[in-house]
Amino acid sequence: MDGVIVDTAKFHFKAWQRLADSLSIPFTEEQNEQLKGVSRVDSLEKILQWGNLELNNQKKLELMELKNKWYLEYVEEVNPSDMLPGTFQFLNELKNAGIKIGLGSSSKNSILILKKLGIIDFFDTIVDGNIIHMSKPHPEVFLKGAKDLGVEPSETVVFEDAISGVQAAKAGGFHCIGIGDSNILNLADLVVKSLEDVKVETLHQF
Ligand code: GL1
């Protein structure tokens, strides 16, 4: 979801950066690439590790709540115009072609965001951070999604903007189209700039 269908990855980055700043931990855009697709708790652990900071569980919970509070402020105004190029058209095309659609996200805010975008009804299943136990790069999120849809990984195409997500898709035996930079998402079967570059026919090559 974040960074594939909607431009919310930048708000996660902004909130994590603010949190890292508050802890005096340097946090770069390159490091952020390693957080994309990674759950809230695992993202915090990575940042603390980069800063060589050890905190107790209570403090960690407080920091995660703070990051989420900031994130929710940033996404307050999110609306359909924040969908990334081609998203709405592609969802429509898939629906018209009778192809099942699942959402696989590590975020616990996925339903809120999908409602703000007005596209929640496109999804036949939603598997998110509230349901899964193991964050990407573990394939649990996609395996659960495929099971819900009644399809095999080998007949499913995962769309991912995150290194951890591409790794998860490939580890689960899925085909994977990367959205973004082919140098970063080099494990994907195909990399495109946005969903604007994908058609139903693109899926038939797999
Ligand atoms: C969590 C992380 C975010 C991002 C998403 C997955 O979202 O906090 O930085 O990695 O997972 O796209 P959330 O905090 O909304 O559960």
Q: Which of these, 132, 202, 194, 195, lies nearest to 164 by C-alpha position?
A: 132
- CATH top-level class of 9-75: mainly alpha
What is the third-level CATH fold of 80-203?
Rossmann fold (3.40.50)
CA distances from 63 to 12, 57, 123 (A): 14, 10, 32
- DSSP category for residue 182: T
Q: % helix / strand / coil in the chain, to the nearest 5? A: 50, 10, 40
Q: Where are the domain boundaries for CATH 3.40.50.1000 in the chain?
A: 80-203
Q: pTM of the full predicted structure?
A: 0.95
136 C-alpha to ligand 1 centroid (Å): 11
Residues 10, 77: contact at Cβ < 8 Å?
A: no
Angle between helices 57-74 and 9-22 (to 10 degrees): 140
Atom of ligand 1 nearest to the CA of 110: 15
Kindly report the protein residue whose alpha carbon is nearest to atom 2 of ligand 1. 40
Is 37 touching ligand 1 by the criterion CB < 6 Å?
yes
Is 106 touching ligand 1 by the criterion CB < 6 Å?
yes
Cβ neighbour number for residue 21 with a 10 Å cutoff = 11
Kindly report the protein residue whose alpha carbon is nearest to atom 4 of ligand 1. 37
Q: Where are the domain boundaries for CATH 1.10.150.240 in the chain?
A: 9-75
pLDDT value of position 23? 97
- DSSP category for residue 196: G
pLDDT in tens, the chain (206 residues): 999 999 999 999 999 999 999 999 999 999 999 999 999 999 999 999 999 999 999 999 999 999 999 999 999 999 999 999 999 999 999 999 999 999 999 999 999 999 999 999 999 999 999 999 999 999 999 999 999 999 999 999 999 999 999 999 999 999 999 999 999 999 999 999 999 999 999 998 99
